[in-house]
Amino acid sequence: MFKEISLIQLQKIAESVKEKYSLVKPTYAVSLPDGGKQIYEYDETSIKDAQTPKEDLEKWETYQTQFNLMQAETNEKTTAYMFYSGIDCEVDPEWTEQQEWLGVKLPTNKFDLKVRYITTELLKTPFDIKAAIVEIMKLSSKGIDKSAVKAAESMFSGSLPAE
């Protein structure tokens, strides 16, 4: 039922989403003794400085919101790719008829339709979803460092596919 996928494709998906958002961390300047300035990116600690200007706090909040949206989209797209390409199955026509009978609107393209089928009929629980991702990653990462596989598996923990 499960088969290997391209790990390079996962990377390309993440890169394309990152490019779409093209996020730039907000920065602040520190005056140097020679009169010059050094520019730093804000992080979770530096943004909490009591002297951080309000506009920088707002930029940080916007950045964080966009970063979280980017992460969610990356997880959705990579998970959808994993399911579409890593699970060998066909959409059951009886399931499609049942969905129409129930009045459930189905995706119109074959990719989203297969992912919907997988996530509502084959992998019904979060446990099923995580187990499938782990199995697909194991098949796809033969010969790769085990810590890299664990990191990839944890990236998808709790993710739900795009529909």
> Could you give the CA distance from residue 91 to residue 116 in angstroms, rounded to a whole number?
9
Does residue 48 sit within a domain? yes
pLDDT surpassing 60 at residue 159: no
> Kind and range of the H or E element at 57?
helix 54-86
Instruction: Give the structural domain span for 119.
Output: 7-155
Does residue 160 sit within a domain? no
Tell which residue, 11, 43, 10, has the closest CA to residue 26: 43
Does residue 70 sit within a domain? yes
Predicted confidence (pLDDT) per residue in 20-52, tens digit: 999 999 999 999 999 999 999 999 999 999 999
> Could you give the CA distance from residue 149 to residue 52 in angstroms, rounded to a whole number?
39
The two three-digit tokens of residue 153, written as one number: 């598996």
Does residue 163 sit within a domain? no
Phi-psi region of 148 (alpha: psi -120 to 50; beta: other; left: phi over 0): alpha
Tell which residue, 97, 116, 118, 119, has the closest CA to residue 107: 116
Give the number of domains in the chain: 1
Beta partners for 29? 39
Does residue 52 sit within a domain? yes
Does residue 88 sit within a domain? yes
Predicted confidence (pLDDT) per residue in 68-123, tens digit: 999 999 999 999 999 999 999 999 999 999 999 999 999 999 999 999 999 999 99
The residues, any chain, with a CB within 8 Å of residue 3's CB and separated by 6 or more, are 85, 86, 87, 88, 136, 139
Does residue 142 sit within a domain? yes
Does residue 18 sit within a domain? yes
